[in-house]
Amino acid sequence: MEGFCIRTKIKEYDTFKEFANDEQLGPDDLILTNEYIYSPSIEPLGLGCQTLFQEKYGAGEPTDNMVNAILDDLRDKNFTRIIAVGGGTIIDIAKVVAVASPEDHVDDLYDHKDSLKKHHELIIVPTTCGTGSEVTNISVINRVSRGVKMGLTSPSMYADAAAMITNMLATLPYKVFATSSIDAMIHAVESYLSPNGCSISRIFSEAALRTILKGWSLSVENGGNEAWKAYSADFLKASNWAGLAFGYAGCAAVHALSYPLGSVYHVPHGQSNQLMFADVMRKYKEIKPVGRINDLENLLAECLGTKPENALDALYALMDKVLKKEPLRSFGVKESDLPVFAKNVPQTQQRLLKNNYVPLTEAQILEIYKAAY
């Protein structure tokens, strides 16, 4: 088993200006971000950096077509560092750009994932409280040409540094907060249950879970909506800790089963995870009721003030107060899709399924989809 190691330098700031001064950002740097982030928070600083705005190339989560268009536009540009400022889409794209040579396209990177080298220093500034991707070596691209959403991993894709800047969450819309914090919570749970975890990774899983549940509970008690912003620094840290945990122990079936929902129906990543979470956990409990899941129940019971046997249901209820879970059919999913998804997931998502609390057969995966439908 590989030893636990934090490969990315993690820094904390109150404002982007503090970060820019510390890193001495300038003309040799490429800021990869969204214009709605750049205009109010970065442009007034007059840093003189080069810029690339993701929305010019398409909306939503990254696709091979989007990333290839970005790579094409960057081939003749000269820059030393990539400063990725954004959520999961920006971060995933930035990791790819960092390891792409001037002639590469997305398929080339997947074909040579074992020999990728970093061509640009990478600094990541997350602007949501869910991805945790600033400290992992995973980039997830929807390979439209192949009809599958797949992770690309390489040691070269770790960021050199991650800057945790509290005020970058100040304008985050409520739904993005909800879906991203749900994603972080699921990162914490899946890494906690993973058979590939270790005592150190579970420290980060537990810290993230405790912090998110406390923040959710306080936000709900204080009226919901924008109440979460009083705890934004805590949510940002918890997302980072969950990233450290799943970067080592891995995510599992919840993420694997959610990928077709994002790939085919464009359900936002955190929300697609929420749609699968409860039914995956119920299947885990059904198959193996005695094991690490009991440690999770004890932890949840302590955090939520309930009995261990009621703890998972209490978690689902709290999640519903943060963002109401809907059935899959509400997102246009057809019942005829479910067997196709159940067949494809084991064929394409073994990177994730190997981290399951218990192995799942195709038939059991289909049962989970049907329960969520």
Using an 8 Å Cβ cutoff, are 68 and 106 in contact?
A: yes
Using an 8 Å Cβ cutoff, are 337 and 264 in contact?
A: yes
- Return all residues near 335 (Cβ < 8 A) that are at least 6 apart: 329, 373
d(CA 218, CA 185): 16
d(CA 139, CA 136): 9
Cα 271-362-259 angle, rounded to 5 deg: 25
Using an 8 Å Cβ cutoff, are 164 and 237 in contact?
A: yes
Q: Give the pTM.
A: 0.95
**Residue 1 pLDDT:** 67
User: Angle 253-265/174-193 helices, nearest 10 degrees?
Assistant: 140
Cα-based torsion angle of the residue sequence 53, 135, 133, 208 in order, rounded to the nearest 10 degrees: -130
Residues of the chain with pLDDT under 50: none
List of domains in the chain: 9-169 (3.40.50.1970), 174-372 (1.20.1090.10)
**Residue 150 pLDDT:** 85
